[in-house]
Amino acid sequence: MISIVVPVFNESASLGDLHHRLTQTLKELGQSHEVIFVDDGSSDGSADVLRALHAQDRAVRVIRFNRNYGQHAAVVAGMERARGDVVVTLDADLQNPPEDIGPLLAALTEGVDVVGGWRKTRHDPWLRRLASWAVNRVASAVVGVRMQDYGCMLRAYRRSVVEQILASRGVSQFVPALANTFATGVAEVSVAHGPREHGGSRYGLARLLRLSFDLLTGFSLLPIQVVSLTGILVSILGLGFALVLGLRRLLIGPEVEGVFTLFSILFVFVGLQILALGLIGEYVGRIYQEVRRRPPYVISEVLE
């Protein structure tokens, strides 16, 4: 059996169409399946649409959060309840067609336990694509698994990987990156991508930034080690600078000009120090969250 997990945040306009196309696709594939919709605190009537879908289709299960916790929390909640041997995640906005699930499953061959969709031609604003490009580079580097598209959420995971993801939630919220650290083999399949038909992206800048920071510090100590190395380098440079100034003072006399040059150099280092503090704070913050052990989400309703 396969489980389809769909995070939903104010998607009432596309849910009916999505359910129809999804069911059609799975029927053609001859797959026994369940569809788990996770309502991430929608306020546009998505809940009513989901209740209706549940009433008409036994394969539909619904989990509802009490408020908005974010796409990745929703995906994890869906995975937690999924019963399938394979879990496929899919966005609710139909930017990725459900029809591409077939090729995705076909790529899940021997030795491959994660298959990612790759949006070769993307229909998103260029700023969004630029951000994704950066995220891909960072994710590939920190996870150590090169992928063209970490951001595409049309993906398939084997049960074994899903278990590992659930067991290591504290590490990161970024499900595709987390999955790749546990996968024996990963594959990528080119999938279609269209513009959003109803409304704009449900992602704000703040949430994207949050996710990038999470990615940066969730998988390695590399960022903080780079800062330490920079610190060592700067100290050596500073020492050389002091030597030169000392010699100059003995040979030529005291220097008074160039004070503002010194200021600008100082500002660079002040900036570096603040960056270093921020990075340390980011790691400490992670420890704090781990220690606090607050539940990552609260479920208010389950239909199954």
Binding site for ligand UDP (CB under 6 A): 7-9, 11, 40, 68, 70-71, 74, 91-93, 95, 201-203
172 or 223, CB closer to ligand UDP? 172
Q: Please state, in angstroms and as integers, the Cα–Cα distance from residue 256 to each residue in 206, 247, 279, following that order.
A: 46, 15, 36
> Which ranges of 168-221 would DSSP assign to H, the alpha helix?
175-182, 205-218
Task: For residues 4 and 91, give the distance between their C-alpha atoms in angstroms, rounded to a whole number.
Answer: 10
**Pick from Mg ion, ligand UDP, none: which does 70 bind, CB < 5 to 8 A by kind?**
ligand UDP
Q: Do residues 2 and 105 lie in contact, with contact meaning Cβ atoms separated by under 8 Å?
A: yes
| Phi, psi for 168 (deg, rounded to 5) | -125, 40
Q: What angle (nearest 5°) sits at the alpha carbon of residue 190, between those of residues 143 and 86?
A: 65
Please measure the distance between the N-terminal and C-terminal CA atoms of the chain and give it in whole angstroms: 16
Asked if 100 and 154 touch (Cβ cutoff 8 Å), the reply is yes
Considering beta carbons, is residue 19 or 122 the nearer one to Mg ion?
Answer: 122
Smaller CB distance to ligand UDP: residue 64 or 202? 202
Residue 113 or 154: which CB sits closer to ligand UDP? 154
From 12, 95, 132, 173, residue interacting with Mg ion (rule: CB under 5 A) = 95
Please, what is the minimum distance in Å from the beta carbon of residue 93 to Mg ion?
4
Please identify, using beta-carbon distances, which residue of 154 and 187 lies nearer to Mg ion. Answer: 154
**Stretch near Mg ion under the rule CB under 5 A, chosen from 22-30, 34-42, 92-100, 135-143:** 92-100
Q: How many CB atoms lie within 10 A of CB 199?
A: 12
Residue 181 within binding range of Mg ion, rule CB under 5 A? no
Give the nearer residue to Mg ion in terms of CB position, either 151 or 223: 151
Stretch that binds Mg ion, among 94-102, 160-168, 185-193, 212-220 (CB under 5 A): 94-102
CB of 124 to ligand UDP, least distance (A): 6
Alpha-carbon distance 173 to 240, whole Å?
Answer: 44
Q: 């974010």: which residue's tokens?
A: 70
* Helix, strand or coil, per DSSP, at residue 158: strand
CA–CA distances in Å: residue 79 to residues 22, 61, 109, 194 = 18, 12, 21, 26
203 binds, among Mg ion, ligand UDP, none (CB under 5 to 8 A by kind): ligand UDP
Nearer to Mg ion, 131 or 161 (CB): 131
What, of Mg ion, ligand UDP, none, does residue 71 touch, CB below 5 to 8 Å by kind? ligand UDP
Q: From the list Mg ion, ligand UDP, none, which binds 8 (C-beta under 5 to 8 Å, kind-based)?
A: ligand UDP
Least Cβ distance, residue 263 to ligand UDP (angstroms): 43
- From the list Mg ion, ligand UDP, none, partner contacted by residue 40 (C-beta under 5 to 8 A by kind): ligand UDP
Least distance in angstroms from the C-beta of 64 to ligand UDP: 12
Count CB neighbours of 229 within 10 A.
10
Rounded CA-CA distance 72/196 in Å is 19
With binding defined as CB under 5 A, does residue 71 bind Mg ion? no
Upper half-sphere CA count for residue 201 (Cβ side, 13 Å): 16
Choose between 160 and 201: whose C-beta lies nearer to ligand UDP: 201
12 binds, among Mg ion, ligand UDP, none (CB under 5 to 8 A by kind): none
Catalog residues that contact Mg ion under the rule CB under 5 A: 91, 93, 95
